Amino acid sequence: NKGLQAMSDLTTAEVQELLNEAQAFADGKTWSPDKPMFAANLFFEPSTRTRFSFEVAEKKLGLELLQFDGETSSVKKGESLYDTIKTLESIGADVAVIRHPEDQYYVDLLPKINIPIINAGDGCGQHPTQSLLDLLTIQQEFGDFEQLQVVICGDLRHSRVARSNAEILTKLGAHVSISGPRSWMNGFDHEYTYVTMDEAVKKADVMMLLRIQHERHDGEATFSKEDYHEQFGLTINREQRMRKHSIILHPAPVNRGVEIADELVECERSRIFKQMKNGVFIRMAVLKRALAHI
């Protein structure tokens, strides 16, 4: 069963195989399963990019889509996630793509669900397909990851993207540093070097910005937008001090004018919309890996 829950499920060789496959799809490769197959997409948290790029990927692979709506499903009557997935498996789903607010929601599913489960984001846990599309975008730019300086900036504590990326980039030979409010570095500050944003822009080949996840801050005191932007954001002034070849990534959605100046979202160094485009090819590769041997 070749589902994907966390980047740690993959060896570096498997990561490279997925990147190569995604690049082949980007270059025009096509693939479809040799029998009709159904993909069930279950999003229990809001999503635009992940949800629709999975949908486009599934359609490009010729899969039939089972669109799940939490509001009109029997989840509303109290049906558990396990019973929901078991039901979809029983009626013919071949793969389940799931986003859920609970960290590691998949742990209870894996022993008894036989179809591949692809994690489209679990709480503050992991977001492996985002991580893979970030890697593809970096690889397209720099060729490989050895010795690259990557600075992950912002709300790391709540970020499933940061966790997935810091681990895999280190394994692939990149140097990962962190930046942002000190109290938002929990879980990262023992392993990764802290730099200020002014140090980050001078050092980074890749500035990986993160969204402030207000919905996970539980009303705790935070910064005004202006203060945050000035202290921890990629301002126009800081962008001018970045290295000539360096690029800007952000998983989006973007708080324009907060973690990044509005004008920089689509600037020459920004690869933010390229990341979204690559998301389709990565998800095609992950779905193919899950379905090719069924």
Cis omega (within 30 of 0) on the bond before 101?
A: no
Least distance in Å: CB of 55 to ligand CP?
11
| d(C-alpha 133, C-alpha 279), whole Å | 5
Q: How far is the CB of 268 from ligand CP (least distance, A)?
A: 22
Q: Would you say 99 is a known binding-site residue? A: yes
- Cβ at position 279, least distance to ligand CP in Å: 8
Handedness of CA 169, 250, 227, 46 (dihedral sign): negative
Pick from 99, 68, 95: nearest CA to 84: 68
- Nearer Cβ to ligand CP (48/231): 48
Quote the least distance from Cβ 191 to ligand CP, whole Å.
23
Contact status, residue 118 vs residue 287, Cβ threshold 8 Å: yes
Residue nearest to ligand CP (CB): 50
Q: What is the CA radius of gyration of the chain?
A: 19
Question: Which of 245, 243, 262 has its CA nearest to residue 254?
Answer: 262
For ligand CP, the closer CB: 41 or 84? 41
Q: Is 50 annotated as a binding residue?
A: yes
E strand map for 4-76: 38-43, 64-67
- Rounded to a whole number of angstroms, the minimum distance from the CB of residue 100 to ligand CP is 13
Minimum CB distance to ligand CP smaller for 164 or for 179: 164
Q: For residues 252 and 267, which CB has a smaller minimum distance to ligand CP in the complex?
A: 252
Rounded to the nearest whole angstrom, what is the least distance from the CB of residue 240 to ligand CP in the complex? 27
140 is in an annotated binding site: no
Tokens 């290295």 sit on residue: 243
Tell me whether residue 50 or residue 235 sits nearer to ligand CP (CB atom): 50
Q: What minimum distance in Å lies between the beta carbon of 112 and ligand CP?
A: 27
Which chain residues interact with ligand CP by CB under 6 A? 47-51, 121, 130, 251-253
Query: How many Cβ atoms from other residues are within 10 Å of residue 68's Cβ?
Result: 20
- CA torsion 166→169→171→176, rounded to 10°? -60
Nearer to ligand CP, 161 or 285 (CB): 161
253 is in an annotated binding site: yes
Distance of alpha carbon 131 from alpha carbon 12, whole angstroms: 13
Q: Whose CA is closest to 234, among 258, 204, 216, 217?
A: 258
Residue with Cβ nearer ligand CP (15 or 210)? 210
> Binding residue per annotation — 57?
no
Does the annotation flag 51 for ligand binding? no
Residue 77 known to bind ligand: yes
Nearest CA to 161 out of 253, 97, 226, 68 is that of 253
Is 160 marked within a binding site?
yes
d(CA 148, CA 216): 31
- Residue set of the binding site for carbamoyl phosphate: 49-50, 99, 127, 130, 252-253
- Residue set of the binding site for L-aspartate: 77, 160, 211
